Chain A
Amino acid sequence: MARLAALVVLAVVVLAFPTAAPNAYILSAGIVVLSYACTATAWNFMGGFTGYVSLGHAAFFGLGAYGTGLLIRDLGLPSFVAWLAAGAIVLLVTIPVGIAALRVRGASFVIVSISFVLILLLVFQAWGTFTGGSDGLVVPRPFPDMLRPEHHRTFFYLFAALLAVMLVAWWAIDRSRFGTGLKAVREDEDKAQALGVPTRNYKLVAYVVSATFTGLAGGMYALWFGDLDPIFQFSIMLGAYMVLMALLGGVRHLFGPLLGAVIVGTGLEYFKLEFGDTQFHLVATALLLGVVVLFMPDGIIPAAQALVKRFGPQDSSIREMTAAELLERNRAAAPATTEGDPTAEPTTAVGQEGRHAEGETTTEGPGEGEGPRRGGPGGSSRGTSERMEDAAPRPRTGPEEDR
């Protein structure tokens, strides 16, 4: 319920922003922040689910942007057809790149991802006849008749819509079987594979989805901004911003990258506005990255959740149990074996039905004190002694304590 309310508030804020923005500059800054939110969320399809940190996602941003611009310029495609086609091109390019890059893990993957963006940077700079090189590429505007504020407002909503699509897709994967497999890769890739998860294909799909969305964000940026330069589109900084934003907000959370983008994006705009002549925004970014890594390695959202949980009952009960439980297990080891005897015969399936049902409705609580005759679905007594030991230290299970 609270989630729904938060979602509604978020949607209202986003939709009302263009009307509430006092001037065109604030609105364009809002678009920049939204485009950061798009790229960070797109990055999070890979980084958040699989834990593979790509510092080179700007490659896909640049490919999407240049793809859109070149398709309009050279093939005369309608703007948004070119945009979708550029997304499809990024998708196709990512498959071989992903197969190659995903052969390595960890730090090696980071290096490979950086090398890809550097290669593209050099190619797009050097191949001036095709890409415009360092002179840049002018992308024709999709809405030539619009005045500047109206143009900004339209693109603000377009970016918001793209972001919404990404968030829905991320949410859908998060709750799916596929997403469970991806998260298993993040937690322990070998273990996931040993359990039958085809990790390479899963990673590749996540990588392609992530890159395609990044490419679409890049294409949208090209249509809005209208002027591309390899140094900005294929920039390591852009890739680093995506990582920073996602880490800052929390990579394992749907809205983590969005939150991070709002904070970092706003900060960047502010520092560029106030200290535009210096490179102070880079210093500020570096400091922020340091603070995140040192104090909130999981990001703001998990840190805030942990803070809230500290005042609630649940977390403490888990901790209490694990600590007390080790002691309790050693103490209960001897009684557990003698007590296990009456249920030791494999045929004691009696009472199992009731207990089983109990276990499904309440995972812990009063049902625990039900008595010694509980077996698993196989109808025997395994699990009994361990259950006793685990249950014993919990305050609510009085009867167990006496054993």
Chain B
Amino acid sequence: MTTTMHQTTRNLETVGLTKSFGGVHAVRDATVTFQHGKINALIGPNGSGKTTFFNCVTGMIKPDSGTVTFRGEDITRRAPHKIARAGIGRSFQLCRVFPRMTVLENMLVAVRRTKVRELLAGARNPEEIDKARALLVRVGIDHLENVEARNLSYGQQKLLELAGVLMGDPDTIMLDEPAGGVNPALIGRIGTLVQELNAEGRTFLVVEHNMDMVMSLSHHVIVFDRGRPIAEGTPAVVQSDPRVLEAYLGV
């Protein structure tokens, strides 16, 4: 995180990113620049390519063409774990945790080591456990650390997923519908967490359909339609853009 302080404001940028599935152009020629240190939101109707765009950026899908750069470095077509280790953490649209591992074990998966000796050492390293517990306290599920993740409620799983992402100390966090399927009180909590983490210097990139959350939370909004950005700007600007109103907000 701190190693990038000298870097200026470059965070995540894509140029001409394209991905087709058969005849369907999920993402076409998407050139997007995300603002460093801000909460960026990505909105758009269902099927507009937001999740595919996400997957292209994080390496889960290889784009057909175009480039992705992170802090000025080309990360196009790199393996997902390398992109993760470069400092981009992500959550999944349908919340994904490791169901038959305990909450604490879920957290420890994100510990990154490369030396063989460290990898073969016991997973229950006190320092790492302390770090995991501190993050669990932060999201509020530390009392469940020995419960298998499949026994958590959906909301708790969302919180666990977020805590797991934070365990890797990502510089940029991509959240795919953090408020999807979650009750209003928890949406508020997740929103507060995002703001606090942003205040600590983490950049966010949030795909979300909950307009109240998007408009109150984000500094910069990018609107996708049919696989490419059609508008961007502050929430106020985007909300009054006629193209956005037509394509998405449905006014």
- Residues of A that sit less than 8 Å from B by CB: 172-173, 175-181, 183-184, 187-188, 190-200, 252, 318-319, 322, 325-326, 329-330, 332-333, 336-337, 346, 356, 359-360, 363-364, 368, 376-378, 380, 382-387, 389-391
> Which chain A residues border B237 with CB–CB below 8 Å?
none
**Known contacts A176-B119, A390-B141; A378/B196 CB under 8 A:** yes
Contact mask for chain B residues 99-132; partner A; CB cutoff 8 A; 1 contact, 0 none: 1110001001111110000111111110000100
Contact B101 A386, beta carbon cutoff 8 Å: no
B185 contact from A172, A180, A187, A333, Cβ within 8 A: A333
Contact B96 A376, beta carbon cutoff 8 Å: no
Contact A180 B109, beta carbon cutoff 8 Å: yes
Contact B140 A194, beta carbon cutoff 8 Å: no
Nearest first, the 6 closest Cβ-Cβ pairs linking A and B are A383-B140, A376-B138, A187-B98, A386-B140, A196-B84, A333-B185
Smallest Cβ distance from A393 to chain B, in angstroms? 12
Smallest Cβ distance from B182 to chain A, in angstroms? 10
Contact B196 A346, beta carbon cutoff 8 Å: yes
Distance, CA A31 to CA B89, complexed state (A): 51
Chain A residue at minimal CB-CB distance from B148: A318
Q: Give the number of residues in B that approach A within 8 Å (Cβ atoms).
A: 65
**Is the C-beta of B152 less than 8 angstroms from some C-beta in chain A?**
yes
Count A-B pairs with CB separation below 8 Å: 169
Contact A194 B92, beta carbon cutoff 8 Å: yes
B192 contact from A193, A194, A382, A389, Cβ within 8 A: A382
B140 contact from A178, A198, A387, Cβ within 8 A: A387
B143 contact from A179, A190, A390, Cβ within 8 A: A390
**Is the C-beta of B22 less than 8 angstroms from some C-beta in chain A?**
no
**Is the C-beta of B9 less than 8 angstroms from some C-beta in chain A?**
no
Distance, CA A172 to CA B142, complexed state (A): 27
> Which chain B residues border A173 with CB–CB below 8 Å?
120
Interface of A is mostly: helix
Distance, CA A192 to CA B90, complexed state (A): 11
**Known contacts A175-B122, A193-B79; A333/B183 CB under 8 A:** yes
Chain B residue at minimal CB-CB distance from A356: B137
A-B residue pairs in contact (CB < 8 Å), sample of 21: A175-B122, A175-B123, A177-B111, A180-B105, A180-B108, A183-B105, A184-B98, A193-B84, A194-B92, A195-B89, A195-B110, A196-B168, A325-B153, A330-B183, A333-B184, A359-B142, A360-B130, A378-B200, A382-B193, A385-B189, A387-B143
Contact B81 A376, beta carbon cutoff 8 Å: no
**Is the C-beta of B145 less than 8 angstroms from some C-beta in chain A?**
yes
Contact A382 B189, beta carbon cutoff 8 Å: yes
Contact B123 A180, beta carbon cutoff 8 Å: yes
> Which chain B residues border A386 with CB–CB below 8 Å?
139-141, 155, 159, 186, 189
**Known contacts A326-B153, A363-B146, A376-B134; A181/B183 CB under 8 A:** no
Chain A residue at minimal CB-CB distance from B120: A176
Q: Quick one: which of B154-200 are within 8 Å of A by CB?
A: 155-156, 159, 164-165, 167-168, 183-186, 188-189, 192-193, 196, 200
Distance, CA A192 to CA B152, complexed state (A): 19
Distance, CA A192 to CA B139, complexed state (A): 20
**Is the C-beta of B60 less than 8 angstroms from some C-beta in chain A?**
yes
Distance, CA A250 to CA B21, complexed state (A): 40
Smallest Cβ distance from B195 to chain A, in angstroms? 10
Chain B residue at minimal CB-CB distance from A325: B153
Smallest Cβ distance from B100 to chain A, in angstroms? 6
> Which chain B residues border A194 with CB–CB below 8 Å?
58, 60, 80-81, 84, 89-90, 92
Smallest Cβ distance from A93 to chain B, in angstroms? 22
> Which chain B residues border A368 with CB–CB below 8 Å?
143
**Known contacts A188-B96, A333-B185, A363-B146; A177/B123 CB under 8 A:** yes
> Which chain A residues border B50 with CB–CB below 8 Å?
none
Distance, CA A198 to CA B112, complexed state (A): 10
Chain A residue at minimal CB-CB distance from B143: A364
Chain B residue at minimal CB-CB distance from A196: B84
Distance, CA A329 to CA B97, complexed state (A): 21
**Is the C-beta of B230 less than 8 angstroms from some C-beta in chain A?**
no
